[in-house]
Structure 1
Amino acid sequence: METFDAIVVGAGPAGSTLTHALENAGKNVLIIDKTSFPRDKTCAGWVTPAVLESLHVDINDYRQHRTLQSISRFRIGMMGQSPVENCHGSVVSYGIRRCEFDAYLLDRVQSRKQLNTPVKSITRDNGLWQINGQWQAPLLVGAGGHFCPVAKQIGAGPGKHETVVAAKEVEFEMTPAQAKACEARGDTPELWFCRDLKGYAWVFRKGNFLNIGLGREDNHQLTEHLEAFVQDMKQSGRIPSDLPGRFKGHAYLLYGHAQRPLLDDGVLLIGDAAGLAYTQSGEGIRPAIESALIAAKVILNAPDYSASSLQRYSEQISERFGHRAAEQERGFEVPDWLKQPIASSLMRSHWFTQKVVTEKWFLHQEIPPLDLAV
């Protein structure tokens, strides 16, 4: 059985970022994922400059052979009423394709990669976590998303008491005819909030690629809301009338609603496995990256991998993202005062949609990039 300093389960942005940081510090790490890369990943797909800065991504290098759509405007509205369009005056975010972005981050990793390898068994013997009876390490990190098998080891798997956001979306390359008929612009993503404020939909063009989706916290109504939204967008000319394929689904936890423990003896969770998506927007890439950087620093400074030694990770997550006990609003952290008909009026306000919805809730511009020396 091969022995490593750490085993990371999940090779998405969180897992690859952590592995990259640990290997740079001289750790012998194994990263495992159930799929091969590049792989299709359901995600609206945008990252802020803060994410690229924290990852030390060279923007000019990245966009050489990959999609990097500059975003400087947003079109925001409530379903059933006219939207407002706001210009931010500069690039405030970038559209990416997750199949490219995730592969790019994983390609930077030089550690041992075990891809296309489902985790079939996790056991612990004499202080070592053993995966599939083949690999072992004193530290196990769960980075495999909402259904991460590592989360189940500390009682943090999907449960009936979790308030889960369910989303469906599709991303495809438009034909020349579809691109000509599509009125959505690449530099202006569109966000459309459900009238009950329990979710929102989006139309996001990235060059000739188009991403359309909707996410809600009551998934039993998800399909009905999505079908109505898509039909409305077709009728208004925002999207082509002939969409290919089926919409794919995925699930995740909002930070303020998750109750998952983050760690135990010799194990911790990062990214969506820990339920770290922003409560305000459901965006998960930045929390995934930052949780990985925080975890790396804690791991490298810990005297051992006991729960007490790793507790600093949980404390720093709270310092960075807030205390979950104080984050109990529902509906993507829509405050109690933002209800109909007030919400309807506010969604017509250029100031509110730009300063609050976009810059605060979605872009988190008031929070500086996280750049930890590890």
Structure 2
Amino acid sequence: MDYYDLIIVGAGPAGSTLASALENSGKKVLIIDKQNFPRDKTCAGWVTPAVMETLNIDPEEYSHGRTLQPIRRFRIGMMGQPAVENDHGDVVSYGIRRCEFDDYLLSRVNAPKQLATPVKSIVRKDGNWVVNDTWEAPLIVGAGGHFCPVARLLGDGPGGHETVVAAKEVEFEMTPDQASACLARGDTPELWFCRDLKGYAWVFRKGNFLNIGLGREDNHKLTGHLEAFVEEMKSTGRIPQDLPGRFKGHAYLLYAHADRPLVDDGVMLIGDAAGLAYTQSGEGIRPAIESALLAADVIGEATDYSASSLQIYGDAIAERFGTRASEPDQGWQVPDWVKMPLASSLMRSHWFTRKVVTEKWFLHQEVPPLKVAV
């Protein structure tokens, strides 16, 4: 049996950030993931300058041999009506490919890694957690996304009040003919809201790579909405007529509607495993990074891993992202005051689409980068 101070299940941005943050803490850390890296990851893939700053990533250095698409504009509309385009002037976000971004973050982790290793068992033994009858630690951290096996220790799947977003998307490298015909521009992601406001679709070009997808609350209608959106985008020349491969699905919880506990005795959840995606946009990379840093701060100072001791992390999450119980909005993307018929007019407004949809809901520009001392 190999012993560690903590085991992190999931080597994505949350898990790798936590492992890196604890490097000088004296904690013996093991990070486990079911896949090898680099690995394919379904995600639209953009990160704000705040994320790059928090992770101490130099954009110029990162861009060498990797996709880094500066974003200065957004094209936003409601399906079936003309879009509004806003120019932000400066770079307000970056397009990345998750297969490259996640591998880059994990490459900075010096802790032991067990990749291509599915978690088959997690057993409580003498106050510790034993994973796959091989590795043992008093603390286990779930960083494996919505279906993380550690999250199941704190409850069997989503509860009755949780809003689960289901999404389907495809990302591929366009041929020269496709790239020249595609009207979508790299510096201008396109966001298209469903008319019932239960989700939105996107067209996101990153150099010669194109990502197309749609996410909604109601999974049973997802395919129909996606097919209609794709046909509309093809007919207007926004995307190529011939799309390779098939759309891949994934799911996640929205912060304001997630019921999952964040901690228990010897257990912590971070990132999508904790259900931290922003409620209005579904964006999860920044919450994943920040939750990992908040967790590292608590773990680095902890003298024991009881639920009461780890609750400091839960309090820090509430302070950073708000208290779930106090969130009044029902539904996914937009609060009640934006509901139809007002929404149709608002989505034609340059002020609303820029100041509220883009800068507040998607970029969170009013929230400064997180500074945590580990």
TM-score bracket, shorter-length normalisation: over 0.9
- 1:332 to partner: Cα distance: 2.4
By how many angstroms is 1:58 displaced? 1.4
CA deviation after TM superposition for structure 1 residue 333, in Å: 4.4
CA RMSD of aligned residues (A): 0.9
The unaligned stretches of length 5 or more in structure 2 are: none
Map of 2:217 onto structure 1: 217
Q: Name the residue aligned to 2:187.
A: 187
Question: 1:362 maps to what in 2?
Answer: 362
Matches of 1:212 and 1:330 in 2, distance apart? 26
Please say if residues 158 and 259 of structure 2, whose CA atoms lie closer than 8 Å, have aligned partners that are also in contact: no
Aligned residue in 2 for 1:140: 140
Q: Percent identity?
A: 77
- Answer yes or no: is the 8 Å Cα contact 1:17–1:105 preserved in 2: yes
Aligned pair count? 374
Matches for 1:119-198 after TM superposition, within 5 Å? 119-155=119-155, 157-159=157-159, 161-198=161-198
CA distance in 1, matches of 2:26, 2:179: 48
Matched, 1:245 2:245: yes
Q: Which residue of 1 aligns with 2:308?
A: 308
Q: Residue 87 of structure 2 corresponds to which residue in structure 1? A: 87
Shift of 1:259: 0.4
> Post-superposition shift, 1:162?
3.0
- Aligned partners of 1:10 and 1:32 also within 8 Å: yes
Corresponding residue for residue 11 of structure 1: 11
CA contact (8 A) 2:197 2:333 kept: no
Structure 1 position 335, deviation (Å): 1.7
Aligned residue number for residue 97 of structure 2: 97
Give the superposition deviation at 1:302.
Answer: 1.5
TM-score by structure 2 length? 0.99
Alignment-mate amino acid for residue 354 of structure 1: R
Distance 2:238 2:69 in 1: 18
Residue 199 of structure 2 contacts residue 333 of structure 2 at CA under 8 Å; is this kept in 1?
no
CA distance in 2, matches of 1:246, 1:330: 32
- Aligned residues of 2:163 and 2:331 also touching (Cα < 8 A): no
Counterparts of 2:147 and 2:160 in 1: how far apart (Å)? 13
Q: Which amino acid letter does the alignment assign opposite residue 152 of structure 2? A: K
Structure 1 distance, partners of 2:188, 2:163, is 30
Q: Deviations over 1:297-336 (max 9, x none)?
A: 0111122111111010000000000010122423324121
8 A Cα contact 1:156 1:261, kept in partner: no
Q: Which amino acid aligns with 2:57?
A: V
Q: Which amino acid aligns with 1:23?
A: E
8 Å contact kept, 2:169–2:212: yes
Q: Comparing 314-323 with 324-333, which one deviates more in the overlay?
A: 324-333
> Per the alignment, do residues 161 and 346 of structure 1 end up closer, same or farther by CA in structure 2, a change over 3 Å counting?
closer
The question of 1:254 aligning with 2:257 is answered no
Distance 1:318 1:34 in 2: 30
User: CA shift at 1:160, angstroms?
Assistant: 5.5
Cα distance in 2 for partners of 1:332, 1:159 equals 16
